[in-house]
């Protein structure tokens, strides 16, 4: 894969690993949509900021409409509470599943057809 020819979307690109991934992609010549719950928190010159809450299906679908040229999905966004499945707070476990599992799945379901339409994607 020639990364410089890809169009990426990175979820949670406003800080942490997502910001670093977006920066690295930019440095390699990739067009980058930087998704964040609050797009004003994105301070990466060169990326295209995008409102994106992966637990909000309307936000995910709207992002897939705008970023219709995406060929590469980086599912970075998540909430790591560290809660034990056996003894942790159920609210924390709900949060983890809503982001890491269902939010990520929602992104895959929204962007797989986009990536396929754009002639990319691997199973």
Ligand X SMILES: NC(=O)c1ccc[n+]([C@@H]2O[C@H](COP(=O)([O-])OP(=O)(O)OC[C@H]3O[C@@H](n4cnc5c(N)ncnc54)[C@H](OP(=O)(O)O)[C@@H]3O)[C@@H](O)[C@H]2O)c1
Binding site for ligand X (CB under 6 A): 11-12, 14-18, 36-38, 52-55, 76-80, 99, 103
Minimal distance, residue 60 CB to ligand X, in Å: 9
Minimal distance, residue 64 CB to ligand X, in Å: 14
Which tokens in the block code for residue 98? 């809503």
Output 37 or 121, the one with its CB closest to ligand X: 37
Tally of CA atoms within 13 A in the half-sphere of 111 that contains its CB: 29
Output 6 or 99, the one with its CB closest to ligand X: 99
What angle do the packed helices 104-117 and 57-66 form, to 10 degrees?
Answer: 20
Minimal distance, residue 119 CB to ligand X, in Å: 27
32 in helix, strand or coil? Answer: strand
- Distance (Å, whole) CA 73 – CA 51: 15
Output 4 or 41, the one with its CB closest to ligand X: 41
């Amino acid at each position: 894969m020639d990364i410089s020819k890809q169009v990426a979307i990175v979820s949670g690109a406003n800080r942490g690993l997502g910001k670093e991934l977006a920066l690295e992609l930019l440095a390699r010549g990739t067009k980058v949509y930087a998704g964040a719950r609050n797009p004003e928190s994105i301070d990466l010159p060169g990326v295209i900021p995008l409102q994106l809450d992966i637990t909000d299906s309307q936000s995910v679908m709207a992002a897939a409409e705008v970023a219709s040229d995406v060929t590469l999905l980086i599912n970075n966004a998540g909430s790591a509470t560290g809660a034990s499945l056996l003894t942790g707070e159920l609210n924390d476990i709900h949060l983890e599943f809503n982001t890491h599992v269902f939010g990520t799945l929602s992104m895959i379901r929204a962007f797989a057809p986009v990536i396929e339409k754009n002639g990319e994607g691997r199973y």
